[in-house]
Chains A and B, each alone.
Chain A
Amino acid sequence: MRYISERSTDPGLLVLASLAEGPKHGYAITRDVEAVAGVKLGPGTLYGALSRLEGRDLIEALPSEDRRRPYKITAAGSAALEEQLRMLDRVVDTGMRRLRAAGATS
Chain B
Amino acid sequence: MSARLARLALALYPLAYRRRYGEEMAALVEDQGASPRAVADLARGALRAHVRPEPVVAESLGRDDRVRLGVSAVLLCWVLFTLAGLALYKTTEGRSFEGLGGAPGLLGVARLVIQILAAVGSAAIVVGAAPLVPAALRQARSRPAARRAVLLACGCVGTFLGATAALVVLAAAKPGFSSGVEALVLAGWAMVAAACGIGCALAARRGLFAIAVPRRTLAFAAACATVVAAAMVGIALLTLAYLLDLVVAAPGLASSPNGPLGEPNARHSLLLQLAVMVAVATPAALGARRAWRGVNP
A and B: interacting chains: yes
Q: Taking beta carbons and an 8 Å cutoff, which residues of A are in contact with B? A: 3, 5-6, 25-27, 30, 42-48, 50-52, 54-55, 64, 66-69
Given contacts A51-B57, A55-B54, contact A45 B24 (CB under 8 A): no
- A3-B41, A42-B42, A44-B45 are known; give 11 further A-B pairs, CB within 8 A: A26-B24, A27-B27, A42-B45, A43-B32, A45-B41, A47-B24, A48-B49, A51-B20, A55-B54, A55-B57, A64-B23
Would you call A52 and B54 a contact (CB within 8 A)? yes
Q: Is chain A's interface secondary structure helix, strand, loop, or mixed overall?
A: helix
Would you call B55 and A5 a contact (CB within 8 A)? no
Q: Does B90 contact A (CB under 8 A)?
A: no
Contacts of B37 in A (CB 8 A): 3, 42
The 30 sampled A-B contact pairs (Cβ below 8 Å) are: A26-B27, A27-B28, A27-B31, A30-B28, A30-B32, A42-B38, A42-B40, A42-B42, A42-B45, A43-B41, A44-B41, A44-B42, A44-B43, A44-B46, A44-B48, A46-B28, A47-B21, A47-B24, A48-B48, A48-B49, A51-B17, A51-B20, A51-B56, A52-B54, A55-B54, A67-B23, A67-B26, A67-B27, A68-B27, A69-B24
Q: Which 10 A-B pairs have the closest CB atoms?
A: A44-B45, A42-B41, A55-B56, A27-B31, A67-B27, A44-B41, A26-B28, A44-B42, A51-B54, A55-B54
Among residues of A, the one whose C-beta sits closest to the C-beta of B20 is: A51
Tell me the bound Cα distance from A16 to B158 in angstroms. Answer: 54
Contacts of A44 in B (CB 8 A): 9, 41-46, 48
Chain B 156-188 against A: per-residue CB contact (8 Å), 1 yes, 0 no? 000000000000000000000000000000000
Contacts of A42 in B (CB 8 A): 37-38, 40-42, 45
Contacts of B32 in A (CB 8 A): 27, 30, 43
Would you call A43 and B38 a contact (CB within 8 A)? yes
Partner of B25, one of A43, A52, A54: A43
Contacts of A68 in B (CB 8 A): 24, 27-28
